[in-house]
Amino acid sequence: MKKFFTIIGGMGTMATESYVHQLNLRTPAHADQDYLNYILVNHATVPDRTAYILDHSQPNPLPSLLDDIRQQSQLDPAFFTLPCNTAHYFYDDLQAATDVPLLHMPRETVKEIRQKFPNAKRIGITGTQGTITDKVYENEVEAAGLTPVLPTDEIEAETMTLIYDHIKENNEVDAALYHRILRQMVDEQHADLVILGCTELSLAQEREPEMDIPIVDGQSVLVDRTLEMALKLREE
């Protein structure tokens, strides 16, 4: 196979499935041959990223991710995507292990905010405790000259319940909880818009979409950037 890219996924599997589903839906295709060439690495047994970020005595996901990057690099993909926000904690180490470009989902998400919401100044960030702790979005928001708005402890606890107890454990979206989290970020934290900084939250948005609050979905941005690069690759 030529002119393809590799998806380093499985973190979690249902969220990766959502990413791939959206990618295929948005591909301008009228025949089998019109879809994109890609390899999906659904590495479901990668240790939990948040658990390690919060406690380095827990199993480290980096060796597994490095193995995936190095193995796939031998196949010479045009680029990598990593549809897991929390895993971007390891981005620099992963990119250093290969000459193949690795898309940076949080960075691309903040670029999207600057382009589509030029008047937004206070940027709410939702995600796992790992994503909040490692500041992967907070740093990108600050680098863009914007103000990051972090969840309170109570909002973050609700977010972890939604991500882990409902979506990861039971593959279900508690719609009321999801929408309450977003509403609190706007009403209580005074965010101008909210970043969905976890692919499980992207899955929640796919199944139970929020239509009234300005949001920027990191996974959706990654889908768009993946599509742009893959279609350009096809034309070359």
Question: Which listed residue (65, 84, 204, 216) is catalytic?
Answer: 84
CA distance linking residue 168 with residue 161, whole number of Å: 10
CA distance linking residue 235 with residue 92, whole number of Å: 30
Question: Which listed residue (78, 82, 191, 198) is catalytic?
Answer: 198
Is 50 a residue of the active site?
no
Q: Which residues contact 15 (CB under 8 A, 6 or more apart)?
A: 83, 84, 167, 198, 199, 200, 202, 203, 219
Q: Which residues contact 172 (CB under 8 A, 6 or more apart)?
A: 166
SS3 for 125? strand
CA distance linking residue 110 with residue 141, whole number of Å: 6
Question: Do the beta carbons of residue 100 and residue 79 sit within 8 Å?
Answer: yes
Give the burial class of 142: count Cβ atoms within 10 A of its Cβ; 0-12 exposed, 13-18 middle, 19 or more buried: middle
Is 198 a residue of the active site?
yes
Tokens of 220: 């959706």
CA 235 vs. chain centroid, Å, equals: 27
CA distance linking residue 236 with residue 233, whole number of Å: 5
Q: Give the catalytic positions in this structure.
A: 84, 198
